[in-house]
């Protein structure tokens, strides 16, 4: 167990390089199973969830080597076991992508149900609906999802909600299905597009990713490739929010501005200066704030709306904004577990169902804080950085899942943060 000690009040200043996208990596690593040869992935974040996924691939027989530049080489040809047990899944719930990947490659997959987590029930009924539409027999026995298919055949699939996981999982199986699959009401997140681009680099034919209709012409033999994943939209947004919350001045490198439009717009509405530029080689974003941010209203929505993963860090910034902010969490049914921790710092927040009313206060007081999930942890870090005095943020293993080199990056920006191993 470890925790962070943060002495708040320092302005974040300087530049930070955004790592590869966690939610793209967690989809593309399983997708590499579909290739008949080895793939080399670059710009992967070295975070706990990626380490866990690497461990699972090794356990089922794939060969996985980390490369010197932080990349990963995956050769699926040695896979002999299609059973991913609960102890593997319990630490890394996004292993459900192995359902679509193993089913697509071997016609067989047995994955322990990931179950709910701190932010909601997280059902996978839409994943199962899609795989069944492609001709798989899917049953749930003793908490294990068992999927088998002699042959996968393309189908028209309509998603009840624009589920990121279901869109990607169905896409993974559809590239191995004979004929065309159409996924309607598909999720449009950047990591959905990145996964489709990776599949196409392997020789698949996936069209329309990034729109709500994705067409897959399946049955192609997929070859190996080298692929660099996109920068992490949510990590970038978290640093943008932290810069604003500490009235800092931070340049973010390795970003894709279009992925950050919703967060940039909200920060500018709050009075924060957001400048997008490119140095002739790559884009950068500069976020600066000299005055107290103004209150703004947030409604989380599927991409390109305001991302649910930034709702929690944004609330930490708005806890000290000038005025009342209204935050509606439309994606997950219980994504306000960080509120009680912020209240202990003096935040004035009232939750009613899916709406949180945040009455901005002039200051927050440092306190011992306990993260309940990954982005709640990020919210507590943002709050502690902008609070008066000393905070401790516990349960950092949640934060380790999604933020690469967090302590080093924040310290380089001037934060007074120290990780203590208990």
**Which sequence positions are flagged as catalytic?**
117
Closest distance to ligand EPZ from the beta carbon of 19 (Å): 13
Listed in sequence order, the residues at least 6 apart from 375 whose beta carbon sits closer than 8 Å to its beta carbon are 234, 309, 310, 311, 312, 313, 335, 338, 402
Q: Is 42 helix (H, G, I), strand (E, B) or coil?
A: strand
Nearer to ligand EPZ (CB atom), residue 162 or residue 272: 162
Of 21 and 289, which has the nearer Cβ to ligand EPZ? 21
Q: Which residue is nearest to ligand EPZ (CB)?
A: 165
Least Å from the CB of residue 24 to ligand EPZ: 8
d(CA 346, CA 365): 6
The H or E element spanning position 30 is helix 22-31
Q: Which is nearer to ligand EPZ, 10 or 300 (CB)?
A: 300
Whether the Cβ atoms of residue 194 and residue 230 lie closer than 8 Å to each other = yes
Q: Where are the beta strands (DSSP E) in 283-372?
A: 283-288, 298-299, 324-328, 348-352, 355-359, 368-370
Q: How far is the CB of 218 from ligand EPZ (least distance, A)?
A: 21
Tokens coding 166: 């279901």
29 neighbors 74 (Cβ within 8 angstroms): yes
Q: Please identify, using beta-carbon distances, which residue of 45 and 219 lies nearer to ligand EPZ.
A: 45
CB of 365 to ligand EPZ, least distance (A): 27
Q: What single string gives the DSSP state of each residue in 185-214?
A: S----HHHHHHHHHHHHTT-EEE-BTBSEE
Among 325, 308, 312, 290, CA closest to 382:
312
**Least distance CB 139 / ligand EPZ (angstroms):** 16
Residues that bind ligand EPZ (CB under 6 A): 22-23, 26, 94, 120-127, 161, 163-166, 187, 189, 308-309, 331-332, 374-375, 402
Calpha distance 105→390 (Å, rounded): 52
Tokens 């200066």 belong to which residue? 273
């Amino acid at each position: 167990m470890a925790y962070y000690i943060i002495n708040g009040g320092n302005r974040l200043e300087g530049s930070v390089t955004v790592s590869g996208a966690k939610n793209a990596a967690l989809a593309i690593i399983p997708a590499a199973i579909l290739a008949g040869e080895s793939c080399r992935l670059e710009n992967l974040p070295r975070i706990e969830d990626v380490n866990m996924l690497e461990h699972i691939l090794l356990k089922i027989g794939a060969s996985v080597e980390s490369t010197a530049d932080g990349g990963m080489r995956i050769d699926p040809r040695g896979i002999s076991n299609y059973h991913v047990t609960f102890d593997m899944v319990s630490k890394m719930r996004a292993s459900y992508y192995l359902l679509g990947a193993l089913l697509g490659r071997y016609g067989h997959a047995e994955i322990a149900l990931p179950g709910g987590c701190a932010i909601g029930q997280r059902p996978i009924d839409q994943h199962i609906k899609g795989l069944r539409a492609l001709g798989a027999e899917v049953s749930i026995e003793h908490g294990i999802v068992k999927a088998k298919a002699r042959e996968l055949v393309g189908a028209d699939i309509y998603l009840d909600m624009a589920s990121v996981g279901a869109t990607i999982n169905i896409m993974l199986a559809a590239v191995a299905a004979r004929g065309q699959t159409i996924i309607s009401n598909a999720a449009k997140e950047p990591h959905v597009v990145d996964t489709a681009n990776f599949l196409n680099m392997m020789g698949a034919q996936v069209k329309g990713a990034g729109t709500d209709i994705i067409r897959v012409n399946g049955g192609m033999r997929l070859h190996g490739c080298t692929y660099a994943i996109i920068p992490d939209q949510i990590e970038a947004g978290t640093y943008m929010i932290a810069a604003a919350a500490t009235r800092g001045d931070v340049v973010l490198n390795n970003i894709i501005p279009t992925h950050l439009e919703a967060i940039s717009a909200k920060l500018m509405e709050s009075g924060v200066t957001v400048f997008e530029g490119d140095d002739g080689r790559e884009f950068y974003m500069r976020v600066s704030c000299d005055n107290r941010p103004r209150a703004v209203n947030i409604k989380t929505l599927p991409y390109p709306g305001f991302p649910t993963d930034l709702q929690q860090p944004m609330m930490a910034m708005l806890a000290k904004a000038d005025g009342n902010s209204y935050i509606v969490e439309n994606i997950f049914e219980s994504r306000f577990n960080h509120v009680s921790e912020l209240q202990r710092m003096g935040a004035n927040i009232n939750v009613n169902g899916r709406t949180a009313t945040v009455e901005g206060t002039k200051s927050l007081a440092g306190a011992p804080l306990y993260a309940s999930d990954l982005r709640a942890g990020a919210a507590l870090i943002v709050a502690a950085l902008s609070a008066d005095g000393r905070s401790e943020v516990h349960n950092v293993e949640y934060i380790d899942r999604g933020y690469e080199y967090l302590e080093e990056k924040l310290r380089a920006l001037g934060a007074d943060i120290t990780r203590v191993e208990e």
